[in-house]
């Protein structure tokens, strides 16, 4: 089973690229982030025409997440991250697919840091940590994937010294991410490619893609009981070079 994640940066503007990528790579499941569209503007029919069902949680202007499946719709478990009834951002949707729990997340950016946006990021991460711990306890195999907006190590960014004060790379951000990992989660890309330079995001500025000046911020975390089934983990880097591309690359894994 092939499971992908793709921060589309606006599903309306991205629809041609999204359809081309789905047709060419045929993931069984695709988790999308940054729909930037209200619930009723989601292109359900266009996706259905190429064989994909969807569950999604839209929001006007910002955020928005979806889980696409090739065939039957995913069985939704929740569409908000538990832990804060006041939080209105559409940043998390979770479903059961083929006996797996799949969580699709768009973790807050958090810049500028420090400040209220950074505080929101850290509190969101605390809630995410708590939810991840519950999922591991539940015993069902889990995949948590999406745009984490976290650069895990200096090896995951083209020039780490430029990013030390950025919300994606600050010490507190990395420490919070490390606390999730310490629960027993496995970073699928690094498990299979421990020493390879791999990026999933390239800024639109300064020809970042052409210079390979990227960040690795889109991740797959696997619960302990599914790690042995991991067969492949890759970035569709070339998609970033397409006309009208998102600033993120699709990333995918293959599970037995």
Partner DNA sequence: ATGCCCTCTTTGAGAGGA
**What residues make contact with DNA under the rule CB under 7 A?**
7, 9-14, 34, 36-38, 60-62, 108-109, 111-112, 117, 147, 149, 168, 201, 203-206, 215, 217, 244, 247-248
The verdict on whether residue 109 carries a ligand-binding annotation is no
Cα separation, 207 vs 161, whole angstroms: 19
Residue 94 vs 147, nearer CB to DNA? 147
Residue 77, C-beta contacts closer than 8 angstroms, at least 6 positions apart: 94, 95, 96, 101
| Residues involved in catalysis | 106, 147, 248
Give the shortest CB-231-to-DNA separation in angstroms.
Answer: 28
Considering the complex, state which of residue 2 and residue 41 has its C-beta at the smaller distance from DNA: 41
Tally of CB atoms within 10 A around 204: 11
CB of 217 to DNA, least distance (A): 6
- 23 among the known binding-site residues? no
Alpha-carbon separation of residue 23 from 17, 27, 172, 211 (angstroms): 10, 9, 40, 28
**In the complex, minimum distance from the CB of residue 75 to DNA, in angstroms, rounded to a whole number:** 27
| Residues written for the chain | 256
The count of C-alpha atoms lying within 13 angstroms of the C-alpha of 237, restricted to the half-sphere facing its C-beta, is 14
CB of 127 to DNA, least distance (A): 17
Task: Give whichever of 137 and 205 is closer to DNA, judged by the CB atom.
Answer: 205
- Tell me: is residue 247 an annotated ligand-binding position: yes
Question: What is the smallest separation between the CB atom of 150 and DNA, expressed in angstroms?
Answer: 10
Distance CA 37, CA 164 (A): 32
Would you say 254 is a known binding-site residue? Answer: no
Q: Residue 56's beta-bridge partner residues?
A: 66
> Is 256 among the annotated ligand-binding positions?
no
Neighbours of 232 (CB within 10 A): 11
Q: Cα–Cα distance between 32 and 145 in angstroms, integer?
A: 10
Opening angle at CA 236, ends 233 and 239, nearest 5 = 170
Q: Smaller CB distance to DNA: residue 205 or 228?
A: 205
Closer by beta carbon to DNA, 11 or else 143:
11
Which residue has 């041609």 as its token pair?
A: 16
User: Is 149 annotated to bind ligand?
Assistant: yes
255, two tokens: 């599970």
DSSP letters for 123-145? HHHHHHHHHHHHHHHH-S-EEEE
């Amino acid at each position: 089973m092939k499971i992908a994640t793709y921060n589309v940066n606006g599903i309306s503007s991205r629809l041609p690229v999204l359809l081309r990528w789905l047709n060419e790579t045929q993931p069984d499941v695709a988790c999308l982030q940054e729909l930037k569209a209200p619930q009723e503007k989601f292109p359900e029919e266009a996706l259905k025409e190429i064989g994909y069902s969807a569950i999604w949680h839209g929001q006007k202007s910002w955020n928005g997440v979806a889980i696409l499946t090739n065939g039957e719709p995913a069985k939704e478990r929740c569409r908000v991250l538990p832990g804060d009834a006041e939080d209105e951002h559409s940043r998390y949707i979770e479903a059961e697919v083929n006996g797996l729990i799949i969580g699709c997340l768009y973790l807050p950016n958090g810049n500028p840091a420090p400040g209220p946006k950074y505080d929101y990021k850290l509190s969101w991460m605390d809630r995410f940590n708590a939810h991840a711990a519950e999922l591991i306890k539940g015993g069902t195999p889990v995949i948590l994937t999406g745009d984490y907006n976290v650069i895990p190590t200096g090896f995951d960014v083209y020039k780490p010294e430029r990013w030390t004060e950025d919300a994606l790379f600050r010490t507190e951000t990395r420490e919070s991410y490390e606390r999730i990992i310490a629960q027993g989660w496995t970073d699928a890309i690094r498990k299979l490619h421990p020493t390879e330079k791999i990026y999933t995001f390239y800024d639109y500025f300064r020809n970042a893609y052409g210079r390979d000046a990227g960040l690795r911020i889109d991740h797959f975390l696997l619960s302990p009981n599914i790690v042995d089934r991991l067969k492949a983990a890759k970035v569709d880097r070339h998609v970033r070079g397409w006309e009208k591309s998102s600033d993120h690359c699709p990333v995918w894994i293959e599970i037995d």
